[in-house]
Copies of this chain bind each other. A is one copy, B any other.
């Protein structure tokens, strides 16, 4: 294994351990020693990649929205549906994404800037909305930054409620309910009637992104 591959693998191992410890203990209570124990790497290896608990947390926070690719669609509103439903699917299936979202919602982490994921998600959704607007898909009154904040904020609450009630089991269903309540005030009616919007949509998009021809060409650490 090349030196660079090893470094990438160690980086990933440490982040997974940090994610696990933050999820179990919360940001405030978690310690670097616990993360070291859980990762099974040397102190030197850990500090080579991350200089502090905060850097570890920011690395975990990044995991939910970095390298987030969805296939390009002729209808941009479908991309909006796909990215929301894919995120719901990943929350159900990927422990790293789950840990990242929990950390972003950790109110006790007062010394940690948790606005990053909210901002990056909002930026991502805003771009999709702007493209949809250019293509004439949106209703005339829509202001992409405002609508994007509404989508990101409301999804954050829906996932929190799903976690409290069913440990995410009903999340994809709740996500379709949310989109069915929001999209008619955002998009032109003929667009809505042509959308693929079912609870299994996220799993379908995930499978699509796993096909070799749809892989991003950039090297990623995830």
Contact = CB atoms under 8 A, between A and B. Distances in A.
Copies per assembly: 2
A107 B109 CA distance: 12
A164 B28 contact: no
Nearest to A160: B156
Interface in A146-178: 146-147, 149-150, 152-165, 174, 177-178
A155 B29 CA distance: 28
Interface stretch (A52-60, A75-83, A123-131, A182-190): A182-190
Nearest to A170: B149
A153 B182 contact: no
How big is chain A's contact interface, by range?
Answer: 35 or more
A181 B142 CA distance: 10
Interface in A1-38: 25-26, 28-29
Interface of A: 25-26, 28-29, 102, 105-108, 114-115, 118, 146-147, 149-150, 152-165, 174, 177-178, 180-182, 184-186
Given A26-B107, A146-B177, A154-B158, 16 more contacts: A102-B107, A105-B105, A107-B160, A118-B161, A118-B164, A150-B177, A150-B178, A153-B174, A154-B157, A156-B156, A157-B158, A181-B182, A181-B185, A182-B182, A184-B184, A184-B185
Q: What 9 pairs between A and B have smallest CB-CB spacing?
A: A157-B157, A154-B154, A156-B157, A153-B161, A153-B158, A26-B108, A184-B185, A153-B157, A150-B181
